[in-house]
Amino acid sequence: MKTEWKIAIGLMSFYALFVSATPAPLLASAQHQAFWQKVSALCGQAYEGKIVKDTDGDTFVGKKLIMHVRKCSGREIQIPFHIGEDASRTWILTNTGAGIMLKHDHRNPDGSYHPTTMYGGHTVAAGWPQMQSFPADPYSQQLFMTQGLPGSVDNVWQMLIYPTVFSYRLVRAAREFQVDFDLSQPVSPPEAPWGYEN
């Protein structure tokens, strides 16, 4: 088993134990807390999105994009991101007490972990009630280098939430991607993402 694969599985086990065994701490700032509450208020709902910015020009073209705020607690928020029939991605927000961590749980169709799973980052500033930024952490940078994706080491992911729009954004040098989800029109929640139970 490759080293990065072992690390990913170890991280998942640690997160599961950490989330279940300890009470949720207070978030580090009022801005973090306000953002967390705004996202948590969407819990149980699903929304359709559209790509509004893509410098590559061909990401997910023609696919139906659905985010589902599937599971929420004071410690963790799980948001599967369905791309057509592809249910491989789940965004996981974790309240660390020092801020908010974003991880991308990436699975194969059989539920096993994809080689590039659990990449993401942690907030490094208070941010705003409407937006938080997550620069790639050292684990993600090492993972990207190991997987032959050196251009991704400078990734910064952002989540923005307003009364009628939730945005997921990726920015780095020469690359920008953003999908906006319409919060004014909930849709039927999809099935569980790969690796999760209905």
Place of tokens 């690390």: 7
Q: What is the pTM of this model?
A: 0.87
DSSP state of 26: P
Alpha carbons 157 and 171: distance in angstroms, whole number: 6
**pLDDT tier for residue 157 given thresholds of 50, 70 and 90:** very high
Half-sphere exposure at residue 165, Cβ-oriented, CA atoms within 13 angstroms: 12
Q: What is the pLDDT of residues 85-134, one digit of tens each?
A: 999 999 999 999 999 999 999 999 999 999 999 999 999 999 999 999 99
At 147 the pLDDT is 95
Mean pLDDT across the stretch 6-23? 52
CATH architecture of 3-187: Beta Barrel (2.40)
Which residues of the chain form beta strands (DSSP E)? Answer: 46-54, 65-68, 71-72, 76-83, 86-95, 100-106, 119-122, 131-135, 156-161, 165-172, 175-187
At 196 the pLDDT is 96
At 59 the pLDDT is 78
Alpha carbons 32 and 35: distance in angstroms, whole number: 5
Crossing angle for the helix pair 3-21 and 138-146, to the nearest 10 degrees? 150
Give 161's strand partners.
166
CA triple 132-133-136, angle to 5 deg:
150
pLDDT averaged over every residue in the chain: 91
